[in-house]
Structure 1
Amino acid sequence: MNYVLDHVGIAVRNIDDALSFYLNVLNGSLEDRYTSDAPGVEVHVAVVKTADKVIELLEPTNKNSPMARFIKQRGKGVHHIAYRVDNLEIAIHEASKNGIRFLENTRRTNLRGRRLIYINPASTDGTLIELCDYLKS
């Protein structure tokens, strides 16, 4: 199984305030912007592409969302690291055989066709890691 860095998710309080750094200092380009109101997600997302990386800025849509709780507990900053895999089902199966646990309630397909699931941070020494693949068009 190949694991390729797909993106880094950054928790922010306000996307518009945060965008200036990523666009003007890192010379990124705004690739996409959308809102996910799915239960357990509830974020505004800005996808910024730099020369060689993708960054997702994640702003909570309400004060009770998981992202709002994350910012309250840990502050702004890196929320998760996402790795693209060849096939999400196979990656989950292989990792599970090695004792990796997943946050099952996070498995979903996002608005842009990315299938994903988060690994339980207890299995990664505290880092929230997303595994993802993309639906073929």
Structure 2
Amino acid sequence: MYLDHTGIAVRDMQEAITFYTTVLGGTLIREYSNPTPGVASNIAVIEFEDAHIELLTPTSPESPIARFLKQRGKGVHHIAYRVDDLDQAILEAKQRGITFLEDTYRQTPLGRRLIYMDPRHSHGVITELCDYPEN
């Protein structure tokens, strides 16, 4: 398992892209929307030499990103860890008593499978486990 990306909730996508590319020197490698109910977000992926971040803005008031922005404001939304096999990682974590937000299990339009742990296990940090089965 290793750090895959950090998700950052932002209110103004273009302003955030400008900051992370111009000031911090990242490269915008893709922008896409995920209209899936319960997700409803625009995502911009910014790549750095050995890491990347995902900037997240809601596309509906019901989006978890909209709720996050309302409750906590802009900032780090989640930390994602890449695993070799998501289903196996979930099974092993459950054997250790970890619970997941089961309704978050999904595959993104870009092929990443993911699920979020219940944040009570990770000291309030929203933690994503993910894999890329087609890569």
TM > 0.5 fold call: yes
Distance 2:134 2:15 in 1: 34
Structure 2 runs not aligned, ≥5 long: none
2:86 paired residue number: 88
- Percent identity for Structure 1 against Structure 2: 54
Taking structure 1 as the reference length, what is the TM-score of the superposition?
0.96
Runs of at least 4 residues off by over 3 Å: none
Given that 2:38 and 2:62 are in contact with CA atoms closer than 8 Å, whether structure 1 keeps it comes out as: no
Given that 2:8 and 2:56 are in contact with CA atoms closer than 8 Å, whether structure 1 keeps it comes out as: yes
2:118 paired residue number: 120
1:49 paired residue number: 47
1:6 paired residue number: 4
Is 1:38 aligned to 2:33, yes or no?
no
Taking structure 2 as the reference length, what is the TM-score of the superposition?
0.97
> Which of residues 45, 67, 70 is equivalent to 2:68?
70
Shift of 1:66: 1.3
Distance 1:55 1:93 in 2: 27
Q: Find the residue that maps to 1:121 and give its secondary structure.
A: coil
> Which of residues 98, 101, 105 is equivalent to 1:100?
98
C-alpha RMSD over aligned residues: 0.8
Distance 1:30 1:19 in 2: 7
Structure 1 runs not aligned, ≥5 long: none
Distance 1:136 1:65 in 2: 27
Shift of 1:135: 2.0
Query: Aligned pair count?
Result: 135
